[in-house]
Amino acid sequence: MTDTTAPARAGGMSWLGRLEGRLSWILLGLAGLALPLLDDSYIGTIAERAFIYWVLSAGLNLVVGYAGQIAIGWVSMLALGAYTTAALAAGRVGPEWNPYLALAAGGAIGAVFGVIVGLPALRLRTFYFAMTTLGFATIVTQVALAWKDVTGGGVGTPGPVFPWPFEPGWGFYYLCFILAALATWITANIGSSRYGRALVAIRDAEVAAEASGIAKPRILMLVFLLAGALGGVAGGLFASLQSYITPDAFTFEMSVLFFIAILIGGRGSILGPALGTILLTALPEFAAPLVQWSTFLYAALLLLIVLLVPGGIADLLDFKNRRPLTQHREIVPRIELLPRVLDQAEGGHAIELAAIALHFGGVRAIDGLDLEIHSGEVHGLIGPNGSGKTTTLNVISGYYAPSSGTLRLDGAPLPFEEPHARANHRIARTFQTPRLVGAASVLQNVMIGGTVHGEASFAEAMLSLPRHHRDERHLRQAAMLALATVGLESLANVRADRLQHSELRFMEIARALMLRPAFLLLDEPAAGLSTEEIRRLGALIKAISREGTGVLLVEHHADLIFDICDRVTVLNLGKVLAAGTPAEIRSHREVVSAYLGA
C-alpha cells in the first residue's frame, strides 16, 4: 500500500500493496489444493469440516462482523439446509432429487429463513436479537424431532451422497473447497463494496450511516438472505459429511463456535474469521481429551482475545497500520478544488421551518421556531447550552418528528422521521462528536458519504461485475478529491481511529461533501480546534457557501459565527431570541445579556 505519510495517488494501492493484501489468500488456496497430496483421509475430513463451517461463517461474518448483529443461533441455517438436502435427495418429499439440486434447494430454504430470522433485527438490538436467533434454533430442532416422516425424528435420516465428479473421498473434499472459495470470493466482494462499507457504518456509526443515505432495513435483509443461503448450502454439505444426521448434531456448542470464530477473527475482516474458523474446527480434533471442555475453552479464548487483542486475528495481521505517522501534521484545505467537488447547478434553494415545536415530556426543546436557510449563505445558529440548536438540526435531518409545525424544501413538504432519505435531497450534516468507522481507513470513511451515488445492485457487487467496479472507481476518485479539498489526502489510507481530533472534524466535512450537498448542516465543527485550524475551517465553510451550498452552522465560537455568517439566529429555551445580520446580533441587548456577555 502507498506510504500513509505521503500523498496518495488517486486513492489507489500499488501493485505491491494489492499483492500484500492477497498473499495470505494465495497461500491458503495453495495449501487447500495441495492437501490431497498428503493422502491422509483423516486430515482430509478435518479440512472438509473446516471448509463447510467456513461456508456458513462467511455469510454469518457479514451479519456479525460487518453489520454488528448478535446472531448466535445461526446453527439453525445449518440444520435447515441439512434436512432439506437430505430429505429431497432421499425422496422423503416426493420423488428423489439429484443431490446437487437438493443442495441448491437447501440454500434456497436457508435464504428464505435467513430473511425471516433477520426481520427482528430491524427492531431488536444486541442480546434481544441474540435470544431470538437462539429461540429459532430451538424451534428448528423441535420440528426436526417431531416431523418424523421427513426428518426421521430422533432416529435421523441418511445424508446425501454426491455423484461424480464430487463423489465421497477427495472428490467431496474438492466440492467443499470450491464452495468455500466461492463463499470467500462473494463475501469479500460485498465487504469491499459500498454495501460492505454501509454495513460497517451501520455497526459503528448508525446515525452517520443514515445521514449518508444508507437505508438499514433494505441492506440488512439482503445480507440476511445471503447469509441464510450460505448457511443452507453448508448444511447440505454437512449432511453428506455426517452420512447420517440427527437433531442432536446441531448443538449450542456449534452455534458458539461459529460466533466466536468471527469475533476472534476480527470484525470487518474476511481473512481473520476464516482463520478463526479453521483454528476452532481443528483444535478439538488435535486436542480430543479437551472436547468436553470445549465451551469453557471457547469462552476463555474469546476472553483472551478481547483483553489482549481486541481487534482479533485481523489486527495481528494488519502490519501496515503499525507504521508510524508523521508528527506535527497540519491541515491545509485546498479551497480551489471545491468547484470540482460540489459541481453545483444554478438556481436558489431554501429550507423553511415554520412554527416548529418539539416537546420531550414537559421540556420544550423547540417552541414555535421559524427559520429559513438559503443556498449560497452561511446561517449561524447560536445560543446557550440546551437552547435547542442540535435539536433543530435533528428535526431538519429527519431524526426527530416535531409535535407541530411544517418543514419545507423549495416549497415542498419534507417528511419527518426519514433520515436516510435526506441524502436524496442533498442535505448533508456533521455531528457534535465525530462519527467514524474506526477500523476503516480515512478514504473508506469518506467513501461512505457517497453511497447513494452508486448504481450497481447488491448482486452486481457480489459477483464483481463491471458496473460495481465503475462505482468503486468513481467513489474512490470523488473521495480523494474531497480529502484533498479539506487537506487530508496524505492520510487517505490510514485507519480513521489513528487520526487526531481536529483531523476527524475535517474528515467528517469531506464525507458530507461526497453528497455534493445543496445544504450542509454543521454541528459545532470548531470544537477542539486550534485558533489557526478554526481560521482555516471558517475559510473552507465560507468557500462552500460561495459555491451555492446553503450552510447551517451551529457553533459556540462566537468569533467564527460573526466572521463568516451572512445571517444569525439566536435561540434561548427553544425560542428565537433574535435574528438578523451579524452586526445586528452583536448589538442586540438581549443577546448580549443572555448569551454573549458584556
Round to whole Å and give the CA distance between 436 and 507.
9
The CA distances from residue 62 to 136, 164, 191, 203, 545, in Å, are 19, 33, 8, 11, 39
Tens-digit pLDDT profile for the chain (598 aa)? 333 333 333 334 444 445 455 777 788 888 888 888 888 788 889 999 999 999 999 999 999 999 989 888 899 999 999 999 999 998 888 888 999 999 999 999 999 999 999 988 888 777 788 888 888 998 999 998 888 888 888 888 898 999 989 988 889 999 999 999 999 999 999 999 999 999 999 999 899 999 999 988 999 999 999 999 999 999 999 999 998 899 888 988 888 888 888 888 888 888 889 888 988 888 777 666 666 666 677 677 777 777 777 777 877 777 667 777 778 788 999 999 999 998 765 667 899 999 999 988 778 889 889 999 999 999 999 988 888 899 999 999 989 888 889 999 988 998 887 889 899 999 999 999 999 887 889 999 999 999 999 999 999 999 999 999 999 999 999 999 999 999 999 999 999 988 999 999 999 999 999 999 999 999 999 999 999 999 999 999 999 999 999 999 999 888 899 999 999 999 988 888 889 899 988 888 877 776 665 4
Identity at 365, one-letter amino acid code: A
Look at residue 12 in the predicted model and tell me its pLDDT.
Answer: 42
- Contact between 493 and 24 (Cβ < 8 Å): no
Look at residue 10 in the predicted model and tell me its pLDDT.
Answer: 36
Round to whole Å and give the CA distance between 105 and 108.
5
Look at residue 239 in the predicted model and tell me its pLDDT.
Answer: 94
| Beta bridge partner(s), residue 367 | 357
**C-alpha R_g of the chain:** 28
Which residues, in sequence order, are CB contacts of 596 under 8 Å at separation 6+? 558, 586
Look at residue 319 in the predicted model and tell me its pLDDT.
Answer: 67
What are the domain boundaries of the chain? 37-253, 335-596
- Contact between 334 and 484 (Cβ < 8 Å): yes
Which residues, in sequence order, are CB contacts of 459 under 8 Å at separation 6+? none
Secondary structure of 51-67 in HEC code, one letter for each residue: HHHHHHHHHHHHHHHHC
Look at residue 1 in the predicted model and tell me its pLDDT.
Answer: 34
Look at residue 324 in the predicted model and tell me its pLDDT.
Answer: 78
The CA distances from residue 20 to 15, 182, 320, 444, in Å, are 9, 21, 10, 19
> What is the grid cell recorded at 284?
478439538
Choose among 289, 315, 312, 316: nearest CA to 301: 312
Look at residue 294 in the predicted model and tell me its pLDDT.
Answer: 63
Taking the chain, what is the end-to-end CA distance rounded to the nearest angstrom? 55
Choose among 395, 399, 419, 418: nearest CA to 407: 395
Choose among 73, 95, 90, 100: nearest CA to 237: 100
Look at residue 449 in the predicted model and tell me its pLDDT.
Answer: 94
> What is the grid cell recorded at 209?
450511516
Which helix (H) or strand (E) is 559 found in, with range? Answer: helix 558-564
Choose among 52, 231, 248, 62: nearest CA to 145: 248
Say which CATH superfamily domain 335-596 falls into: P-loop containing nucleotide triphosphate hydrolases (3.40.50.300)
